[in-house]
Structure 1
């Protein structure tokens, strides 16, 4: 069962880690490249702030974004801002998300995200946590996939394996980290491709942050995953 209150607290903790790390950066570093192609660290920080507001919109019954064009334009507009402005916006938008999450609500209701995707309201805090944790890694400032809390890493692999389950372009896939097993891809039409590796490497591959070179694959090539 999803515990949205626990996840909201976990979002707060992850955000504090991020804010502390960003506050220690040199001012000029905000213009330097992140690990995401075509995005500076300023783009990542701007996206995180706008995503907090977008998910607050979802919790409050409004559209997540007016449209994709506005979303992208807002990120481009906000990316060049000075580090101090980025930091203040990230802190303030995070507070607005927490305020939206603290309001009395029916957490079993279905909400609409981007591109017609729907989910239970109770899963929105975990979606926000994934944004904060993974984009903290994307900044390239010393926080790595290996540093992610174990509980988060396991749940994010759960989430991503489920996301690709039944996808026609992903072969039946068994995923193992030495202690846990996940199944993803199309329903088994024969032997599954088995992908083994560390939790960090598996998560990096599933989330599009690593190429899977460190993984061990049996029964076929490493499945090519569609973009998130």
Structure 2
């Protein structure tokens, strides 16, 4: 299964890589380290961890939808996503690590159980897009990989899989309507496209993506 730029197997592998990078990055953080600012303005690492954990829970809802046909939105209300992020700072480091690991495991197990037909089932994202379930691993890989960098603990775009960077750059470039990209290494160009810190010279500022 493929969308033309990536296969389902590739997206699943990238989701696994991003999840491992994120979990490894927070494995040894103490309370002070977890409460420190992330790369995202206004977000601590606890906000970011809560967001990534809640994202896995939300994607589990779409896996359930694909597996059963029972309409199960990612979030029960428009406020649920923000509420999940906001509760992060009130949780301990160990509570957040447990939530991150548990939600990631449930999502991986749910994806493992989907049949070929269920992978083709249509679900609706939080943004209102109707997509096949094959899109879910790609959605997870973006969240896990990019936010592993956002933690600011040493993971960089250069440490992400090259295939993932290519697919991400293609997607963001298309969504931003860009016909020309600055010259530079793929990780730096992708960081620039995502509105993250980069080393490119003379590239115009872009707002955060994701």
TM-score by length of 2: 0.84
- Within the candidate set 187, 206, 210, 1:200 is matched to 187
Q: Structure 2: how far apart are the matches of 1:66 and 1:51? A: 13
In structure 2, the residue matched to 1:188 is none
Please report how far the alpha carbon of residue 74 of structure 1 lies from its aligned counterpart in structure 2 after TM superposition.
1.8
Q: Structure 1: how far apart are the matches of 2:208 and 2:46? A: 26
- Within the candidate set 163, 172, 185, 1:160 is matched to 172
Kept after mapping to 2: 8 A contact 1:202/1:215: no
CA offsets per residue over residues 151-173 of structure 1, 9 Å max, x none? 211111122123234xxxxxx52
Q: Structure 2: how far apart are the matches of 1:8 and 1:226? A: 25
Moved more, 22-31 or 90-99: 22-31
In structure 1, the residue matched to 2:50 is 46
Over alpha carbons, which structure has the higher Rg?
1
Kept after mapping to 2: 8 A contact 1:22/1:87: yes
Q: Which runs of 5+ in 2 are unaligned?
A: 66-71
User: Root-mean-square deviation (CA), in Å?
Assistant: 2.2
Moved more, 65-74 or 90-99: 65-74
In structure 1, the residue matched to 2:38 is 34
Please report how far the alpha carbon of residue 227 of structure 1 lies from its aligned counterpart in structure 2 after TM superposition.
5.0
Over 6 Å off, 4+ runs: none
Which structure carries more relative contact order (alpha carbon 8 Å, separation 6+)? 2
Structure (1 or 2) with the greater strand fraction: 1
Q: Structure 2: how far apart are the matches of 1:55 and 1:22? A: 21
CA offsets per residue over residues 109-161 of structure 1, 9 Å max, x none? 33211131232321210110111111011110011122112121111112212
In structure 2, the residue matched to 1:87 is 97
In structure 1, the residue matched to 2:68 is none
Kept after mapping to 2: 8 A contact 1:54/1:64: yes
**1:116 equivalent in alignment to 2:133:** no
Matched residue count: 198
**1:173 equivalent in alignment to 2:179:** yes
TM-score by length of 1: 0.78
CA separation of 1:213/1:143 partners in 2, compared to 1, >3 Å: closer, same or farther? closer
Q: Structure 1: how far apart are the matches of 2:127 and 2:11? A: 24
Q: Which runs of 5+ in 1 are unaligned?
A: 166-171, 176-194
- Within the candidate set 97, 106, 115, 1:96 is matched to 106
In structure 2, the residue matched to 1:192 is none
Kept after mapping to 1: 8 A contact 2:34/2:93: yes
